[in-house]
Amino acid sequence: MNPDATGGVSADRIQTADKPATRAKVIRYRTPVSRRNRSITPLCRTDIMYAAVQVIGAGGENTLHSHTQLDGLWFVLRGRARFYGNENVLHGELGERDAILLPRGVSYRFESVGEEPLELLQVEAITKGASDEIKFHEPKKRGSEEFDIFSLEGEVLNKPATGQPTG
């Protein structure tokens, strides 16, 4: 899969762009309709920064992990989230317009709390030229690798070569 098509997102890695952006870019995001309990819409990326919106269905969660090279900011656009660290220690419960900073090396996982889907703005910074790897600190949770990646136009980008959606 072409990393530019998916914004450099895969189950175990986030890649930044090879070339820095040289122009201002207006981004118009609309919440996509996903067939899965998790979706990611890459918004933009440069050689040192990545931004996306993740939508997590009611009760959805991800796996406890840390990043080797990414410093992350997670901002709740809609819904509620709980972020946990090692040994299930609560980093914090966030509502709309709350955020959490997660520096590289800090273990975390999050879950959607309540009936409303969770919509998170994810902004990640990386040292120029570094390559981030995700380190999982528990067995991967069911569905943690299954997510839709959408373009800003709402097109599903992570389709197999046959053109059929994954799933």
Enumerate the domain spans of the chain.
3-149
pLDDT of res. 5: 59
- State how far Cα 1 lies from the chain centre: 17
Angle subtended at Cα 39 by Cα 103 and Cα 161, rounded to the nearest 5 degrees:
115
Q: What is the pTM assigned to this prediction? A: 0.84
In the chain, which stretches have pLDDT less than 50? 1, 161-167
pLDDT of res. 108: 97
- Copy the structure tokens of residue 94: 């966030």
pLDDT of res. 163: 42
Q: Are 41 and 53 in contact (CB under 8 A)?
A: yes
Query: What class does CATH assign to 3-149?
Result: mainly beta
pLDDT of res. 162: 40
